[in-house]
Amino acid sequence: MSADEASLPTLYEYYTEGGISSSLEAPATGFKLNGKDITIFSGAVHYFRVHSHYWRDRLRKLRAAGLNTVETYIPWNLHETEEGVFDFGNGSREFSAFLDFRSYIKIAQEEDLFVIIRPGPYICSEWDFGGLPSWLLRNPGIKVRTSDPNFTSRVRKYLDQLLPHFVDLQFSKGGSIIAFQIENEYGGFGEVGHPRDKEYLRFIKTTFEQNGLVELFVTSDTPRLSGDSGALPGVLQTANFNTAPESELNALKELQPDKAVMVMEFWSGWFDHWMEGSHQTGLTKELFEEHLEVIFNFNASINVYMFHGGTSFGFMNGANSIPIFPYYAPDVSSYDYDAPLSEAGDYTEKYRILEKVISKYNKVLTRLPNKPEESKKFAYRTMNITQFLEMDDIIEKIDKEDKVFSDSIISMESLNINNGNGQSYGFINYRKNVTLCSNSCLKITGHVRDIVMLSLDGKRKTGKLTSIADLLGFGYWPNR
């Protein structure tokens, strides 16, 4: 860092000089924070997709690129894995270390960054069930993401536990949070042409307010597809897209000509599905730079989704419904997203492009940190496998209370285990003892919704999955 750079104010010194008198505002001329002009240069880094050991490293790399804000979702299904049992980083589970979002937000402020929070309750994010907890499905009539009291009563209990954690971390209280998003891409939910449940959106907004959230509220959708169907009066609409930036931003301006313009999700890359055969990039490096130029020439603010994708650990990867074979497309655990910062936290060409374009359009110069070094990579040594467990060995080790006897097949969420919360992830071993005479035919009816591996007398009968074509065989979901 040169002497001139060292003499620049920090972001917080610049925007809080003389005290804090106002929060983030969005007039047509552009955003203002504490009365001063600000272009939001934000990047998405999800705390739950990065081990806490690396939080500071990733956030410092984001700030070093010239960005001034970090954005993150909050996944309900990690923070309330069992109904009424909450974990905000103080639990005893293996994953609790990932869940202390208050520490994450404080580290962001220490690294001279503002924060945008997207609490959902639905987050999409290529995350299992969009972040909704699986135990909701134990109520067979529940209508999620609607004003159905079966759903909103549970949302309210969760948000009443979650939202107070953000109150003292808001910018107007001396913290780093400058905005909150209401729900997520709600204009794209439900049937085309069907009116959205605005009562549900108003319920979320009211719950935010009653829990002390006072910073700017926003919604996000793709303007040309959803219009204002996922919006609320008085709440800033923002845009999500990766192509046709001029058309999308013009559509957004038509929807709200008297407001500042922001792209809440500028998709820097894309996510991978199992069996696709190649890594998805979404945008070439050339288009990435070209679209950034268009956005900033529009006097728009931006959140690069993702800046650093990280990893969807365990069984938390989501899936997409697609109109062609194989109809259901599960996402891989890597959420690299072809983002400016790789899954391993390394700098990429898109990082250098983003750094260059931001320096060109950033009108408020503040002090930036030196870029942290990339981590050293090494290979684990080869190990010989000397023992293994067979299926019967594993079944034998399952606790008695996790073995359920029933006359019919029960879905994992409906099993009376885990303190009445069912099973969220993993595998179920269904067993039935039958006596067959010679030339008997075993008939299985129903529609496989996932994967079934059938064994008879200990011998596997389901074909092995070696290519996408094998999905047409018995035991896989596309087989109608």
Structural tokens at position 251: 């559509």
Strands (E), 242-382: 262-267, 301-308, 319-321, 328-330
- List the Cα angle 98/100/105 in 5-degree steps: 115
Please answer whether residues 257 and 282 qualify as being in contact, where contact means their C-beta atoms are separated by less than 8 angstroms. Answer: no
Please answer whether residues 338 and 281 qualify as being in contact, where contact means their C-beta atoms are separated by less than 8 angstroms. Answer: yes
Rounded-to-integer distance, Cα 431 and Cα 454, Å: 10
Rounded-to-integer distance, Cα 46 and Cα 308, Å: 8
Residue keyed to tokens 């690294």 = 111
CA atoms 58, 60, 61, 62: torsion sign:
positive
Rounded-to-integer distance, Cα 463 and Cα 460, Å: 8
Question: Which of the following is catalytic: 185, 215, 343, 355?
Answer: 185
Structural tokens at position 43: 């990047």
Rounded-to-integer distance, Cα 445 and Cα 432, Å: 15
- Bridge partners, residue 170, by sequence: 177
Query: 199 an active-site residue?
Result: no
Rg (CA), the chain: 24
Rounded-to-integer distance, Cα 165 and Cα 275, Å: 40
Which among 410, 475, 421, 418 has a CA at the least distance from the CA of 449? 475
Rounded-to-integer distance, Cα 192 and Cα 428, Å: 36
Question: Which of the following is catalytic: 71, 265, 343, 355?
Answer: 265
Q: Please give the biggest Cα pair distance in the chain.
A: 89
Strand 455-456 to 328-330 pairing: unpaired
Say whether 117 sits in a helix, a strand or coil.
Answer: strand
| pLDDT digits 0-9 by tens, 214-269 | 999 999 999 999 999 999 999 999 999 999 999 999 999 999 999 999 999 999 99
Rounded-to-integer distance, Cα 27 and Cα 261, Å: 9
Structural tokens at position 14: 């610049």
Which among 335, 223, 247, 241 has a CA at the least distance from the CA of 288? 241
Which among 42, 22, 56 has a CA at the least distance from the CA of 375? 56
3-state helix, strand, coil in the chain (%, to 5): 30, 15, 50
Rounded-to-integer distance, Cα 252 and Cα 249, Å: 5
Per-residue pLDDT at 480: 52
> 22: number of CA atoms within 13 Å, CB side?
10
What dihedral angle (degrees, nearest 10) is formed by the CA atoms of 336, 337, 342, 344?
A: -10
Rounded-to-integer distance, Cα 204 and Cα 183, Å: 7
Cis peptide before 119 (omega within 30 of 0): no
Helix then strand count (H, E) for the chain reads: 12, 15
Say whether 429 sits in a helix, a strand or coil.
Answer: coil
pTM: 0.96
Query: 390 an active-site residue?
Result: no
Question: What's the DSSP call for residue 196?
Answer: P
Which among 26, 38, 24, 3 has a CA at the least distance from the CA of 364? 38
Domains of the chain: 3-361 (3.20.20.80)
Structural tokens at position 183: 């729900």
The 3-class secondary structure across 455-474, one letter per residue, is EECCEECCCCCCCHHHHHCC
Rounded-to-integer distance, Cα 322 and Cα 276, Å: 13
DSSP string spanning 286-319? HHHHHHHHHHHHTT-EEEEEEEE--B--TT-B-E
Q: Which ranges of the chain have pLDDT less than 50? A: none
Rounded-to-integer distance, Cα 401 and Cα 404, Å: 8
Per-residue pLDDT at 479: 63
| pLDDT digits 0-9 by tens, 203-214 | 999 999 999 999
Please answer whether residues 374 and 347 qualify as being in contact, where contact means their C-beta atoms are separated by less than 8 angstroms. Answer: yes
Per-residue pLDDT at 3: 66
